[in-house]
Amino acid sequence: MNDTNLAELCRLMEVDSRTLSPDAVWLSGQQPEYLHLRSVGALALAQELALSILCPECCSESIRPEPSVDIADVACPYRAYCMDCGWINLAAVQAHNWQLQPHLLARWLAGGLGLLARYSVEVVIPDVLWRLGEIEHRRKRRTVFFGRRLAVHADAVASRLSQLVAPGAEVIITSSDIEPLLLGALDDRRLVPLRAIAHIRKHGFVIENLDAFLSGSSTVTQTTETSLRLIHTRGVALVGGKEIDLSPQMYTFLKVLEEADGDEVHKRFIAEHLGIEASTFRTADIVKRHKQVYQTFVDKDDKGHYWLRPEFITIEGR
């Protein structure tokens, strides 16, 4: 049951809105999971009432909760009028929206790691990234972060991390799926899935197996990769594992060829995208500072056509 609860909690953490309507809870088929998450504090009732819910009696009419006139009814302090069923008494969990509490979960994680006694949980990016503190592993200090919806906010997260900690000196525990993150702006960061290390307990997390992620290989690895997979997220080309910065013009040149998906592109079309008059366009002016990149990824003929080399088409296609 714990794995199911944690899986659902991670799924909710990746949804844009932190608010769930009562119908999303009671019609989900996962009422036990939601009730358990509320009982341990991971979910709470929001202050506002739902604007509309499905009548729990007939399940066909929409009704609007309002405070009950019978203030003595503690079990059902709300009511709503259904055209088919008349007045329906409602419990608070049926009338209020439900709310996820990411900052509280960040504190849970800090508590599970034993950090709350020495550090305060700091918001780095509101509702997305928190700094929990520092841990020491094999004589190396690492800054621990907690993040959600990292795929959506990858560029912003990468930018803030670059200001706070060097690649490899961090641990980012996240509710997000790890695999997509390894192909974007966070590919050089040490990412740990929350589901792999945490267990839900009453008002907190118990953390296990984190050492395995710190001892194993992180996403910072030596590589001989040659590709263009980072041109859109980092503005660099990889040649033999080396990152080569691209000028705006070289980036546009490669992007045009990439979007052609291996087809020939005439220099007039490239010049148009670069904002250069076709009559004055010279490829040499664009690639003179990027000869290694040009020779690695680009092919051409003597009629003014250019294309991306075939071995990079399927890998680089967006």
Per domain, the residue ranges of the chain are 19-100, 102-215, 236-316
Per-residue pLDDT, 310: 85
Per-residue pLDDT, 233: 63
Rounded CA-CA distance 203/110 in Å is: 12
Rounded CA-CA distance 149/213 in Å is: 21
Element (H, E) at 123: strand 122-125
Indicate the Cα dihedral angle 105, 110, 113, 119, nearest 10°: 180
Share of the chain above pLDDT 70, in %: 93
| 193 compared with 228, residue with greater pLDDT | 193
Fold category of 236-316 in CATH: Arc Repressor Mutant, subunit A (1.10.10)
| Other residues' Cβ atoms within 10 Å of the Cβ of residue 69 | 8
Rounded CA-CA distance 214/56 in Å is: 49
Mean pLDDT in residue range 149-170: 91
Residue 16 vs residues 148, 149, 169: alpha-carbon distances, Å: 10, 8, 29
Share of the chain above pLDDT 90, in %: 39
Per-residue pLDDT, 220: 39
> Which residue bears the tokens 């076709």?
278
Per-residue pLDDT, 234: 64
User: In which band, very low, low, confident or very high, does the pLDDT at 229 lie, cut at 50, 70 and 90?
Assistant: confident
Is residue 203's pLDDT more than 50? Answer: yes
Mean pLDDT in residue range 234-259: 83
The answer to whether residues 172 and 192 touch, using CB atoms and an 8 Å cutoff, is: yes
List of E strands, 138-210: 140-147, 170-174, 191-193, 198-201, 204-207
Per-residue pLDDT, 317: 37
Residue 40 CA from chain centroid, whole number:
25
Rounded CA-CA distance 151/160 in Å is: 15
Per-residue pLDDT, 218: 43
Mean pLDDT in residue range 4-17: 87
